[in-house]
Amino acid sequence: MDGKQENSWFKKIFTVFIIIVVTLAAPARPSPELLHEESGEEFCPEDEYRSRKGHCCNKCHAGFRLEQECESSHLKSICKPCPKDYYMENSNNAKNCFRCNTCKSNERMQSECKPKENRKCVCNDGYFKQSISKFTWQCLKCTTCGEGEEQRIPCSGSTNRECDCKEKFYRNSNKICEECKKCNSDQKCNHLCRKSDTDWQLAFVVVIAVMSVLILITVYMFIQKRRSCHKQEIVVSPVSSDSETSKNLLSYVSEDEKTVKDPALIPLPKHEPPVWQDPSGQEELPDCIPRVFKTCHFIYFLLQHVPASRFKELVRSLGVSERDIEWAERDNHTCKEAQFQMLKVWCDSSRGDEVETLSKARLLEMTETLRGMGLMAGAEAIEANFQIL
């Protein structure tokens, strides 16, 4: 049993050794690619193809199809031309040609079917091409411009016609072009607004604006003038029979600034006669001869003793009309000048008096009017200063 086992192991080892030796000693078999490289047939040129038998065969030219493969690389393939209405654009090894297109309705043939070129079709006039997929399309009728519309983009084989409204038309809410009949916000209807509405409205607005500005300016000036009359204050000097009081004319100042506002009203020269005199120039007259007084001296004196707030009441009581009061305020720059003019109107209303003098009767009328208004101080100042009691 021991001898048999040893022989068995020896046979196994010897068999493995023989296999290894044979494997290492056998020549390596080249790969198919190497065999093709050695034979020059592993890659076919661009105008050839590999046949089912493994060798390269020539391709058929455009316009032909393959009828039979070449038997070897040294022989030619058998090709036949494409039949009628079939084509093949490129060199090939296809068994069949492609069928040419057929022009559909609304299409016309642009070029005939040829063995090397497919039939070409285009849309008829008045139709445009709309793509369905990469290789299919359909021809649809172009849009027709309606009434009031004009062509903006013409109809072509690849583009539909686009329309827009004509001049003096606009597109309404129903997308229909309607003729402009009145001015509206649409720009194409501005021609109706140009003269009939827009210009007239603009001119009306301008006139209203100018009139409003003028009215505001007038009201402002009137208010300022009224305020200036009420703010002005008369500088009242104490009543005295001294001749210096009679010779000084009226000066007045504002409440805010204690400066003379009317330099035109200057004092009388020192050689002027007393406040009253008769036309002959005599200072003392008999009681039987009525005395007369200078108008301007009297007015200046009166303005010192009548409050500005009651001056219009006084001149109205004396009979000065509202029209004369209004004209005096309008024609004079200052309130005192206007008041002087109002009293001047009353002084001139006495037809029997001299132009520049007042009678004793007019002074008495003034004192009675002042007493009737409750201005007793003013009346007494006139009587004391002009000695008319």
In a shared domain, residues 304 and 373? yes
166: amino acid identity, one letter: K
Using one digit for the tens of pLDDT, what is the confidence trace for 281-295?
Answer: 444 444 444 456 788
Using one digit for the tens of pLDDT, what is the confidence trace for 64-117?
Answer: 999 999 998 889 999 999 999 999 999 999 999 999 999 988 899 999 999 999
Cα→Cα distances 352→234, 358, 359, 366, Å: 32, 10, 9, 17
Q: State pTM to two decimals.
A: 0.36
In a shared domain, residues 257 and 141? no
Higher pLDDT residue, 348 or 35? Answer: 348
Poorest-pLDDT segment among 39-43, 339-343, 351-355: 351-355
Q: How confident is the model at residue 119 (pLDDT cuts 50, 70, 90)?
A: very high
Tell me, what CATH number does 247's domain have? 1.10.533.10
Q: What angle do CA 11, 15, 16 make, to 5 degrees?
A: 120
Domain that includes residue 152, residue range: 125-171
Residue 49 within a domain: yes
Q: Are 69 and 77 in contact (CB under 8 A)?
A: yes
In a shared domain, residues 129 and 90? no
Residue 159 within a domain: yes
Average pLDDT over every residue of 119-148? 89
